Amino acid sequence: MTSTEDTPRTGAGTNRLALVTGASSGIGRAFARRLAGQGHDVVAVGRRADRLEELAAEFPDVEVRPLVADLSTAEGIDAVAEVCAREEVNLLVNNAGVAHYMPLAELPADKARELVTVKVLAPTMITRAAVAGMRDRGEGAVINVAGMIAFSGPAPHSQLPRRAVYAGTLAHLVAMSQALSAELEGTGVKVEVLCPGVVATEFHERQGIDMSVVPRMTADDVVTAGLRGLELGEVVCAPGVEDTSLLDAVFRADLAAFGAQSPELAGRYRTR
């Protein structure tokens, strides 16, 4: 693992700093390229040093610093969290991910652990390290990259089988982002969870899944939606959903069910 420089950044006389995980490819690389192109300095986190070095070489006019870290390990998570705690990160993009699509009973323990660590533990700990400084400075933003599969829990087996743990990790990101946004209300810090559908990246190919005949959104379009969603104040950004009232209905139903609870046992559970 390589590290960024030891001297903390103060932000004085420098470009605004973004940190993007999963920047080696796909949505993360698209975020890093877009932000660097807009004049941000970028800490680009990933596991493939060669890809990160290539990315850095594309932008000689800003500082793109490769940080090689494996977010399925405690060491990797701690290395990234340390940068977020030490430096004035203005925008954090938690994008790193793995798929491991298979039924839970067949999911090897190491793959289950990797998936939960990368998509639940890593963004939780990295965000925790970043938001305190953002709150104290009165500005900043966090984008957690999830996906529309976060809303697929009620789907029958015929529609979306083999994804119990993966769907659960994305649902965690949705709930965490919504709750964190409420916690930070009035502080100047924005939180968004970005939920694309199927995206044209290497993500599925690395799992041996052929998606070539499936209509897919580009990673660049996902980035456009995510950054515009921040401007619009969206907490849940769904790039492919035109009718946002559908999302509003989901969240109203969530709150209605939450608010309808009672200390009394519901009638259907009472013995007769």
Rounded CA separation 218/75 (Å): 32
Q: Give the list of residues 6+ apart from residue 193 with CB closer than 8 angstroms, or none.
A: 143, 144, 145, 146, 173, 174, 176, 177, 178, 235, 236, 237
Q: SS3 breakdown of the chain: % helix, strand, coil, rounded to 5? A: 45, 15, 40
Is residue 133 a contact partner of residue 154, using CB atoms and an 8 Å limit? no
Catalytic residue positions, numbered: 166
Rounded CA separation 211/207 (Å): 11
Tell the burial category of 182 from Cβ atoms under 10 Å away from its Cβ (0-12, 13-18, 19+): exposed
Cα four-point dihedral sign 203, 206, 210, 212: positive
The one-letter amino acid at 267: G
